Amino acid sequence: MEKAYLMAVLPGPAPPEGVDELLELKELLATAGAEVVGEMVQRRDRPDPRTYFGKGKLADLQSELGRLEPDLVVVEDELTPNQQRNLEDRLGLRVIDRAALILDIFAQHAHTAEGKLQVELAQLQFNLSRMTGKGIALSRLGGGIGTRGPGETQLEVDRRVARKRISTVKKRLRDVSSSREVMRRSRLASRLPLIALAGYTNTGKSTLLNALTSSQVAVRDRLFETVDPTTRAYEFAGQTYLLTDTVGFIRKLPHQLVEAFHSTLEETLVAHLILHVADASNHEDELEQMNAAVDSVLDAIEAEGIPRLLVLNKIDLLEPEQEAFLRRIYPDAVFVSACNGEGLERLKERVRDFFNARLVSVEMMFPYGDGRSIGEVYRLGSDVEIESIQEGVIVSARLPREEVERFAKYMLKGREGKRQPDTD
Ligand SMILES: Nc1nc2c(ncn2[C@@H]2O[C@H](COP(=O)(O)OP(=O)(O)OP(=O)(O)O)[C@@H](O)[C@H]2O)c(=O)[nH]1
Ligand SMILES: [Mg+2]
């Protein structure tokens, strides 16, 4: 196990006794398989632009490191290339930041060809963004002696190699993504209600998928267990629903990852409904921050328009008064325990109600012989009734709201009306 020492610059006053501001970073390290041997926090509004810590604090850190002899130093923030270089020079140790750590965990947890390529792409782009310098500073990323072209500095060679690899990976990614694209299209074409699970990592999304669909997707108490998306079906009150589990989110998710995982995250975008799963056993402030992080990733992938239902999971861990308190703050949320099954029936009802409300009652008149349109209504809608009159075929049905538009020209005004085609 590698020994890691943590450093963080945090704004504001020190938190009250018992609150560990570096808890999440520690969980990330535990997930990555490293042991934390010490930590140092400097309180200031923003990090030093050159060395992250200020001068005096850096000296303190150096003597701590001399005493504890860790293998590497892990920084809570995303470092600039300069900060990273300066820190490594000063400390004589490998320095990695939060973003690099998250990328590393993703690399360990990606199993499919697509997932692996997505992680590689993110890592390449991350490294490329650090290969800056003013020509003097040689990159430490490439071994590369002898690969240099005429007139090229090592840095230029490294960047050229990285760019080339990036375009290869992107191309391969397009190839492997296409098979999932085919599956996604067929799910869309099936017209079944599509639900996506989204939420902070480790909130129990996969456990919930398993509980709702009686599946066996891997579940573990560590961050970013799920990297590759999975879809399973469940049935409720005679209707089949498709449920997709995908990668979890975290605060300060490296933007290279969000970009590289775009096609995976797009699984969320095709959903009619997003179940935003949160861990109710977190402290309320923590919960709010995590929910905000999830919302910001969803906004970044342009999922703003998709309705969301908040699911507060792990209520088996709450005291009754805590649960009552949360129910007051989140009156619209569904409270469940994916572990003991509490609230799952209610969740299925809420999902059913959502999809029912999505259906609107319409009455249309089709000309005789337009069997194709009537067939469409049968395929898309429910409760279809047909009546032939002299002018054509009257069809009443319940259609998904977003499908109503395409039948606009056949719509009749309200049932009591004179059955005139709607010309509004
Ligand atoms: N007590 C309790 N623990 C739960 C519940 N649901 C999930 N867990 C635990 O929470 C941990 C994380 O569960 P996962 O289902 O892997 O979480 P996830 O959201 O899929 O996590 P990532 O894939 O890493 O994003 C596991 O140890 C689960 O056993 C619950 O309702 N109650
Ligand atoms: Mg999971």
Domains and CATH numbers, the chain: 2-104 (3.40.50.11060), 110-173 (no CATH), 192-342 (3.40.50.300), 359-410 (3.30.70)
DSSP-derived 3-state class of residue 191: coil
- Exposed/middle/buried for 71, CB within 10 Å: 0-12, 13-18, 19+? middle
Residue 219 near ligand 1, beta carbon < 6 Å: yes
What is the residue whose two structure tokens read 């059955």?
419
In this structure, which amino acid lies at residue 27? E
Residue 201 near ligand 1, beta carbon < 6 Å: yes
What pLDDT score was predicted for residue 280?
A: 97
| Å from CA of 182 to ligand 1 middle | 30
Which pair of tokens denotes residue 248? 């979890």
* Strand pairing report for 359-366 and 34-43: unpaired
Contact status, residue 73 vs residue 7, Cβ threshold 8 Å: yes
Alpha carbon nearest to ligand 1 atom 12, residue: 202
* Proportion of the chain above pLDDT 70, given as a percent: 92
pLDDT digits (tens, 9 = 90+) for 250-308: 877 777 888 777 777 777 888 889 999 999 999 888 899 899 989 988 888 888 888 99
Residue 221 near ligand 1, beta carbon < 6 Å: yes
What pLDDT score was predicted for residue 39?
A: 96
Residue 377 near ligand 1, beta carbon < 6 Å: no
**pTM for the predicted model, two decimal places:** 0.78
Neighbouring residues of the ion ligand 2, judged by CB less than 5 Å: 206, 225-226
| Å from CA of 211 to ligand 2 middle | 13
Dist CA 232 CA 254 (whole Å)? 29
| Å from CA of 288 to ligand 2 middle | 20
Judged against a pLDDT cut of 60, whether residue 142 lies above it is answered with no
Q: Between 284-300 and 320-329, two packed helices, what is the crossing angle to 10 degrees?
A: 40
* Proportion of the chain above pLDDT 90, given as a percent: 46
* 51 to 45, 84, 254, 345: CA distances (angstroms): 15, 8, 21, 54
Which pair of tokens denotes residue 112? 């499919």
Judged against a pLDDT cut of 60, whether residue 330 lies above it is answered with yes
Q: Between 113-130 and 262-269, two packed helices, what is the crossing angle to 10 degrees?
A: 120
Residue 202 near ligand 1, beta carbon < 6 Å: yes
What pLDDT score was predicted for residue 415?
A: 44
Alpha carbon nearest to ligand 1 atom 16, residue: 219
Which pair of tokens denotes residue 189? 């074409």
